[in-house]
Amino acid sequence: MNKHYYRRGPEHRYGEIVDFLSIRKLYDFRSVEIGRWVTRDENEEAAALFYDALADLMMILNGTESLISLRGTLAFQYGIGGRPGVAAHYQPATRCFSLAKNAGPGSIAHEWFHALDHYLADKCFSDAPKKMFASSAWLHDATPVVHPLNDLLFKCFKAIFLDESGQEPSDLFLASKNVDKQSGVLYWSLPEEMAARAFESYVQDHAICNHFLVKGTKSSKEAQLGLYPQGEQRARTNSAFQQYFHCLGNSLKKHQTQ
Rounded Cα–Cα distance for residues 171 and 5 (Å): 31
Contact 106, 214 (CB under 8 A): yes
DSSP annotation of 82: P
pLDDT digits (tens, 9 = 90+) for 132-145: 999 999 999 999 99
The one-letter code for the residue type at 50 is F
What is the average per-residue pLDDT within 8-28?
93
Q: How many CB atoms lie within 10 A of CB 208?
A: 16
Tell me which range, 60-64, 87-91, 98-102, is most confidently predicted by mean pLDDT: 60-64
At 221 the pLDDT is 96
Percent of the chain with pLDDT over 70: 94
Separation between Cα atoms, residue 85 and residue 258, nearest integer Å: 45
Model confidence at 161: pLDDT above 60: yes
231: left (phi over 0), alpha (psi -120 to 50) or beta: left
33-43 confidence digits (pLDDT tens): 998 888 888 88
**pLDDT category of residue 85 using cuts at 50, 70 and 90:** low
Q: Considering only CA atoms, which of 187, 163, 167 is closest in space to residue 237?
A: 163
**pLDDT score, position 103:** 64
Span 192-243, pLDDT tens digits? 999 999 999 999 999 999 999 999 999 999 999 999 999 999 999 999 999 9
**Cα–Cα distance for residue pair 231/88, rounded to 1 Å:** 28
CA dist 20 → 17, 32, 74, 82, 231 (Å): 11, 7, 14, 18, 38
Q: Is the pLDDT of residue 166 over 50?
A: yes
Which pLDDT belongs to residue 84? 56
Cα(60)–Cα(80) distance, integer angstroms? 28
pLDDT for 257: 73
What pLDDT score was predicted for residue 17?
Answer: 87
Q: What pLDDT score was predicted for residue 256?
A: 79
The sign of the dihedral angle between the CA atoms of 40, 90, 180, 106 is: negative
Residue-averaged pLDDT of the chain: 93
Question: Contact 72/51 with Cβ under 8 angstroms?
Answer: no
pLDDT class of 83 with cuts at 50, 70, 90: low
* Cα–Cα dist 87/232, whole Å: 31
Quote the CA–CA distance of 105 and 108 in Å, as a whole number.
8
Provide the pLDDT for residue 1: 46
Instruction: Classify the C-alpha dihedral 166-136-227-242 as positive or negative.
Output: positive
pLDDT, greater one: 1 or 140: 140
Judge whether residue 54 has pLDDT over 80.
yes
Where residue 190 falls (left for φ over 0; alpha for ψ -120 to 50; beta otherwise) is: beta
Structure confidence at residue 2 (pLDDT): 47
H helices within 162-257, ranges in order?
Answer: 171-183, 191-204, 221-224, 231-257
Sign of torsion over alpha carbons 254, 256, 257, 258: positive
